[in-house]
Structure 1
């Protein structure tokens, strides 16, 4: 479960992490009212769960009512990376001199939680990890004992954080780990953690993802679930269809049966130079109707330029899948995006015979199917 920024900030603030004054608004009048109470300058921030909101026009810094009205008109109702913006966070602007990054997640390779600190905050941390990995200091934590104070201090000092704020940054990191642990977190991060001229540290952004299977232990977080899901029609549609679905930011739509199979397909898309648009697991025993619903979902994502099916028949029958693909695509006067299909396992030969090759591209191996889908996506972006 992904919390919106305003929800995560409330959780962080309740735990004692400093955050700017802010109010949620759903219309222009609400934005102006909130800005008046907080005091200019303020940042107006789209509340959608995607990265790169600023670059996409979803965050504006304004200094008066006229600018606030223009920004609110522009952001509210916009389509931001395929998600409709229906709420904004109006937040007091922070006059900063430095931007840091702090985060906590699970390092599955080590089998331990890992706390991270970097002085390269305010930018895409994934890009930092790829281009300058040494700029991120990692400190693994034994979950049986939690994060010791010396570990937080070590991570902060090793990252090169200024001594004037090192103690406060270590305190924020310790609190963030405790939140991650207590709230059954998957990820928790602040990017940027801003440092002011007065040597205060303030969480200017907030990310908190919680394990949905643990929500029965987190009643306060569970109450936020409906609001957290609002705004993304595809996430809501996934709930209706009972799909395991995660929206990503690429352009190759992925449909498979089984989490491992879908993850393998995502990895191969990345390996062959593409960017996955989603994780969509239709589950075992998928009938024609379920496949039709899956295609409906993926085609509804404006970012998708191609679709790859990776179906391995165990419980699922290849002929049922093929029939579902045909039924879904035959309903279109024109196929929205090219579809590539790879079938294997139970009744795969029957499925191959059923597939209408006027509607889909059929590939014999997963590798060739992924490569073809990546090629189609590149052509669609050209």
Structure 2
């Protein structure tokens, strides 16, 4: 789960990370009022969306008067901000963060991520802040500092000082840098985060180390332990298909293709998408219904997939170990009887109670296409999709 910049800053400040003075606004007038409350003569107005690259897309504006704030926010509210991370559909702007401008001497990149190879939290930092880490690694790989943290002891002060020295932080500011690193690490581990990023972390002209931007991502599976973090979720920033799936306990990622996938197991789901691609099709989603797929759960998955108007064929691919093929078959039949679909449906079942499952499908009277192997299922769903596409094209021509 992602959260907004202002939320991430509030979370990190509770762990000792210093941030500039700022306030949230839901209208242009409120944004101007927030600036007057803070005082000063320059403010940064930032669109609050779940995406990077806001500055390049016009989502971050430097303002020096009420009129400039009103103009900037009038151009933001209700618009969709398109960045390299949002895709062409963009993200809606419904709130802005007004922050007091600070004198910047230098910018630093700081990120904490889970490193799968070492099974540790890795701190990634660079003296070249303000750019995306991908750009930094390509243009200035020598500026990147990496340090893994031993979980048995956590981030020690000496290790944080080593990172500060490697970044060229002045001795007088080392303790502030150590406090920032320690705060980020504690927030990461105590709140079950999967990513903390501050870009840029700035050194100001008056010798302060401040988080000028912040991003945090949390492990969805651990949110039950942190209800205060779960409350920060903003569904307006999520793919509505993924939100609906999450609310129903399904793992779903929307894609741009036309063949909907209903699969049990993440590995099998990825293999299914790959096989569809090899057969000449384009998957419309990643959907893992999990190990305990009851008929009701399968029916929910069907309703979710068919709610995507881009879906022009559906492949159900189930390998039942913990699962049962007869349950899945009942779910498929139940879903299609309650909500008939006008697109081809291919079903491949294997594993526990497969004979019972096949019998349920055969006796249902529904126009289902059955397959016994994954390759066969992928080829049949792509062929059915192409045939249906050709038929629709001919009908439109007539």
After TM superposition, list the pairs within 5 Å mapping 1:132-211 onto structure 2: 133-161=141-169, 165-211=173-219
Contact 1:105 1:187 in 2 (8 A): yes
Using the TM superposition, give the Cα deviation of residue 147 of structure 1 relative to its aligned residue in structure 2, in angstroms: 1.0
- Say if 1:363 and 1:40 are closer, same or farther in 2 by CA, change over 3 A: farther
Query: Structure 1 residues 368, 209: closer, same or farther in 2, change over 3 A?
Result: farther
Say whether residues 1:119 and 2:124 are aligned partners.
no
Unmatched tracts of structure 1, length 5 or more: 357-361, 374-382
Distance 1:25 1:109, change over 3 A: same
Q: Which has the larger displacement, 28-37 or 285-294?
A: 285-294
Alignment-derived partner of residue 16 in structure 1: 16
Partner of 1:45: 46
Q: Does the CA-based 8 Å contact 2:346-2:377 persist in structure 1?
A: no
| Contact 1:180-1:186 at 8 Å conserved across structures | yes
- Per the alignment, residue 70 of structure 2 pairs with 69
Please say if 1:107 is aligned against 2:115: yes
Instruction: Tell me what 1:377 maps to.
Output: none
Shift of 1:204: 0.9
Q: Distance in 1 between matches of 2:48 and 2:369?
A: 42
Map of 1:60 onto structure 2: 61
Paired residues for 1:1-382 under 5 Å: 1-38=1-38, 39-80=40-81, 81=86, 82-129=90-137, 133-161=141-169, 165-218=173-226, 222-232=227-237, 234=240, 235-245=242-252, 251=256, 255=261, 256-262=263-269, 280-284=287-291, 285=293, 289-296=299-306, 311-314=317-320, 315=323, 317=325, 330=341, 343=348, 345=350, 354-355=368-369, 364=376
Per the TM alignment, residue 199 of structure 1 is displaced from its structure 2 partner at its CA by 3.3
User: How far apart, CA to CA, are the structure 1 residues paired with 2:124 and 2:23?
Assistant: 29
Question: How far 1:143 sits from its partner (Å)?
Answer: 1.0
CA positional deviation for 1:100: 1.0
- Structure number with larger C-alpha Rg: 2
After superposition, give the CA deviation of every residue in 1:225-249 in whole Å (9 maximum; x if it has no partner). 23423423525423433323467xx
Verify the 8 A CA contact 2:284 2:311 in the aligned structure 1.
no
Q: CA deviation at 1:23?
A: 1.0
Moved more, 39-48 or 254-263: 254-263
TM-score by length of 2: 0.70
The 10-residue stretch of structure 1 (230-239 or 44-53) with the greater mean CA deviation from structure 2 = 230-239
Give the Å deviation of 1:112.
1.6
RMSD of the TM alignment (CA)? Answer: 4.3
Corresponding position of 1:379: none
